[in-house]
Amino acid sequence: MAVDEAIDRWMRRGASNLRRAKWLVATGCAAIVVLAWLGGLDWPVAGLALAAVLAVAAFGPGARAPLPTSAGAAAPASAGLQPYSAEYLAAAIPDPLVMIDQAGAIVHANDAARAAFGDFRAGTLIQLRFRTPEFQSFLSGLREGAAEPHVTDYAERVPIERWFRVVGRPLGHGTGLFVLVFKDQSETRRIDRMRSDFIANASHELRTPLASVAGFIETLRGPARNDAKARDHFLQIMQDQTARMARLIDDLLSLSRLEMKTYAAPSRAVDLRQVIDRVIDAMNHLAAEVGVTIVREVPPVPVEILGQPDELIQVFENLVENACKYGQSGGKVVVSLDAGTGAEASGPSVTVRDFGPGIPEEHIPRLTERFYRVDAETSRAQKGTGLGLAIVKHILTRYNARLTIRSPSGEGAAFTVQFPPSQSRSS
């Protein structure tokens, strides 16, 4: 069987070499046939020459075609990797990668590992760098010699919070070396936390009016069944609470649509003056109810940007509504439009300013978070959902625009939307 297998491998080597050199062999054979036909060679000699060409092409010293093995295509691939060291392969991996020996001493770390965790010196014990009990148990299990990969989670709190999924396994067989790969899970964890917080906040916001409505229904079916005055009062409260739930659901749906919408650069020309006029006309009734006058300051010429009118109206309606509600003690809200066509050409901007009590400085960085409120009771009394500025932020992100909030103590608040120069089409 061994002889038959050797002959079979030898014949396959010859066939493979002939396929690789088929054009060269064909040219040589054609030349020999032409010489014999023209009389330059005797036909017996030509036959020997043809056989020699085929033999040299198939089994000569220049024929080096690799033999197919039981590993199939893996043999050529592994042969091609031989010139490259483990350092080259580690450098090609984008995730942090560390090689350690049986004692836990660092043998090699790639650039991604040094960028993530600082400089790793060869010989340093890795258990001195990652000290959590979970990581120590992970190393112990890895060095016990199990062939399957070991997995653990590792978290760092400073200088920023980061989470990694660490996978370790032996490097080869009997080398005494191990490879650890750190997969950054920070963004995934952050998104999961945001989702959990969002669900908890939304549930809380809906539970409060639902509990109120349920309580009044129970009262109307019991003690207040025949009390017309109490019935009218409770029904009005129930109507207000159901309206609040409707507003909250509308804002949640609006946020969901914005997040699911594939980003596409706005391509429609929109005059910001017309947008501001429509917003002020729509908000005048609210301003009158709370005793506020809306003042518009716009240039005499159109100021165009590329965008969607409905989205821009939603942005400025939210800003003007907040200014009227929370700055009503100032008695005035100013909406100003700057065309941004000066020497700096910074792009058009719209500022909505109120003259109320202002916003404490420590709250300003968090105003665009979902459900965040400076004063929860005041916000609910003003029929706010806590989602308006989050919607504004999402829309402006699509426009590559920036929202700036300034609120000097006791001087009201100013919300400025700055559009990029590339968006503007000032006439």
Q: Please compute the mean of the pLDDT values over residues 16-29 and round it to a whole number.
A: 62
How confident is the model at residue 351, as a pLDDT?
94
pLDDT digits (tens, 9 = 90+) for 180-232: 999 988 888 877 777 776 677 677 667 777 887 888 888 888 887 788 888 88
Q: Average pLDDT of 11-26?
A: 63
247: Cβ–Cβ under 8 A, 6 or more apart, which residues?
383, 385
Q: Would you say residue 40 lies in a domain?
A: yes
Q: Specify the pLDDT at position 343.
A: 46
Same domain, yes or no: 118 and 177:
yes
Which pLDDT score, from 0 to 100, does residue 316 have?
A: 92
Q: What angle do CA 265, 269, 273 make, to 5 degrees?
A: 125
Which pLDDT value is given to residue 40? Answer: 57
Full-model pTM: 0.51
Q: Are residues 54 and 12 in the same domain?
A: yes
pLDDT at 124: 87
Q: Is there a domain that residue 296 lies in?
A: yes
Domain boundary residue among 33, 62, 81?
81
Instruction: Check: CB of residue 418 under 8 Å from CB of residue 346.
Output: yes
Q: Are 187 and 209 in contact (CB under 8 A)?
A: no
**Do 169 and 128 have their domain in common?**
yes
Question: CA nearest 30: which of 62, 14, 53, 63?
Answer: 53
CATH of the domain at 408: 3.30.565.10
Question: Per the structure block, which two tokens stand in for 124?
Answer: 């340093």
Once rounded to an integer, what is the mean pLDDT over residues 297-302? 88
Q: What is the pLDDT of residues 28-56, one digit of tens each?
A: 666 665 556 656 556 666 666 666 656 66
pLDDT of residue 28: 64
Higher pLDDT, 395 or 344: 395
Mean pLDDT, rounded, of the chain: 77
The pLDDT score that the predictor gives to residue 31 is 61
| Same domain? 280 vs 153 | no
pLDDT value for 274: 92
Q: Is residue 55 part of a domain?
A: yes
Do 293 and 158 lie in one domain? The reply is no
| Within a domain: 163 | yes
Instruction: Give the chain's domain count.
Output: 4
pLDDT of amino acid 91: 79
Domain end, chosen from 25, 54, 81, is at 81
- At 235 the pLDDT is 86
Of the candidates 269, 260, 317, 270, the one whose C-alpha atom is nearest the C-alpha of residue 294 is 317
Final residue of a structural domain among 26, 55, 81: 81
The amino acid at 207: R
pLDDT band for 122, please (50, 70, 90 cuts): confident
State whether 398 and 277 are in the same domain. Answer: yes
Q: What is the pLDDT of residue 415?
A: 93
Mean pLDDT of 113-133: 86
Do 302 and 396 share a structural domain? yes
413/300 same-domain check: yes
Domain at 121, CATH number: 3.30.450.20
The answer to whether residue 284 is domain-embedded is: yes
Alpha carbon distance 112, 98 (integer Å): 10
In this predicted model, what pLDDT tens digit does every residue of 228-285 receive, in sequence order? 888 888 888 888 778 778 877 877 777 777 766 656 666 788 899 999 999 998 888 8
Tell me if 189 is assigned to some domain: no
Q: Which of 193, 166, 190 is nearest to 178 (CA)?
A: 166
Residue 326: band (very low, low, confident or very high) from pLDDT cuts 50, 70, 90: confident
95 in any annotated domain: yes
Percent of the chain residues past pLDDT 90, beyond the cut = 11
The rounded distance, in Å, linking the Cα atoms of 323 and 27 is 88
pLDDT at residue 380 is higher than 80: no
Q: Rg for the chain (alpha carbons), in Å? A: 38
Q: Return the H-helix or E-strand segment holding 405.
A: strand 402-406
CATH of the domain at 232: 1.10.287.130
Indicate if 60 and 93 belong to the same structural domain: no
The per-residue pLDDT for 70 is: 42
Mean pLDDT over 14-40 rounds to 61
Q: Is the pLDDT of residue 169 over 50?
A: yes
Question: What is the average per-residue pLDDT within 156-168?
Answer: 84
- H-state helical runs in 144-184: none
Same domain, 351 and 406: yes
Per-residue confidence (pLDDT) for residue 72, from 0 to 100: 43
Range(s) of the domain holding residue 136: 87-184
Same domain, yes or no, for 106 and 63? no
**H/E run at residue 305:** strand 303-306
Residue 12 lies in a domain: yes
Environment class of 387 (CB within 10 Å of its CB; exposed 0-12, middle 13-18, buried 19+):
buried
Answer yes or no: do 280 and 374 share one domain. yes
